[in-house]
Amino acid sequence: MQSAFREHRHFLRRPTNAIVAAMICVAALAAGCGDDDAAAPPSVTPADTLARIHVDGTVFRDALGRQVVLRGYNARVDGIFDDTFDDGRIALDTIPPFDEDAGRRFEELGLNVLRLPVNWSGLEPQPQQYSEAYMQRVDAVVELGRRHHFYVLIDMHQDAYSKEIGQDGAPLWAIVPPPQMLLQGPLTDLDARTASPQVLAATASFIANRPATDGRPL
C-alpha cells in the first residue's frame, strides 16, 4: 500500500516536558472538551473516544490510574511536512499522504500514537499571517486519529532550521541574516546543510532573539 507508512519510524520513548505538554493538549482535543464529557464519571469512556490521560512523573496514566503505554510511529504527512516551494524550485522530497486507509491500518496494527511533525513555515508563511488551510490539514489528521482510536502527538519540528536553507522548519522571513542562497531538492546533502554557515547563523540569531525582517524578535 502506498501510504505514509513508508515514512514512519518506530516511536516509543520516555516523554520530555515538551512532549508531555503537547500530548496533554492533543489528547484533550481528540477526546473532546465539552461540558458533558467533563461531567461524566472518570470510569466511563464512550467506545468512540480516546481515554483522557495525564502525566504522573515519567509515565502517562488514565483516569483510573492505570499506566498508558504509547506505541506508534512518526509520520511525515503530505501538506503538513512543509518541504515544497511555490516559486518553481524542486521539492526536497516526495511525502505521501496519511489517509483513511493508513489510519485504518494503524488501528489494525494496535498502535495508539502518531507523532506528527508540523512546521513554522506552514503555520505562519508570512509575518502574523497564519494559514487556516494548513491548520485544517493538521485538524484532519487529529480527527483521523479520533476515528481510529490513536492519539496524535503534534511535534513542532525542524531539521537544519528551514526548507529554504536546510530541510524544514522556519519560514523564509524568519531567516536572519537573509540567506545568501536559496536551496532546492532533491535533498541528498542534509548533513552538509545542517552544518552550513547559513544554518548556523540563522540558528544563532533565533537563540539570540534577533529581529526578523518585520522587526519582531524571532
- Does 151 score more than 90 pLDDT? yes
Strand order in the sheet with 67-68: 53-56, 59-62, 67-68
Paired sense of beta strands 113-118 and 53-56, if any: unpaired
Q: 194: which 3 cell numbers?
A: 545542517
Q: Please state the domain extents for the chain.
A: 4-157, 173-218
At 41-85, the pLDDT tens digits run 444 444 556 888 999 999 999 999 999 999 999 999 999 999 999
CB atoms within 10 A of CB 207: 9
Q: Compute the half-sphere exposure of residue 163: CA atoms within 13 Å on the CB side of its CA.
A: 24
**Least-confidence region, from 10-14, 24-28, 118-122, 202-206:** 10-14
pLDDT given at position 74? 96
105, with CB counted inside 10 A (0-12, 13-18, 19+), is middle
Contact 61, 54 (CB under 8 A): yes
The pair phi, psi for residue 88, each rounded to 5°, is 95, -10
Query: DSSP 3-state assignment of 217?
Result: strand
pLDDT tens string 125-138? 999 999 999 999 99
Q: Under the phi-then-psi rule, with left for phi > 0, alpha for psi from -120 to 50, and beta for the rest, what region is 129?
A: beta
| DSSP per position, 130-161 | --HHHHHHHHHHHHHHHHTT-EEEEEE--BSS
Sign, CA torsion 10/14/19/20? positive
- With 0-12 / 13-18 / 19 or more C-beta atoms within 10 angstroms meaning exposed / middle / buried, residue 136 is exposed
Give residue 5's pLDDT. Answer: 42
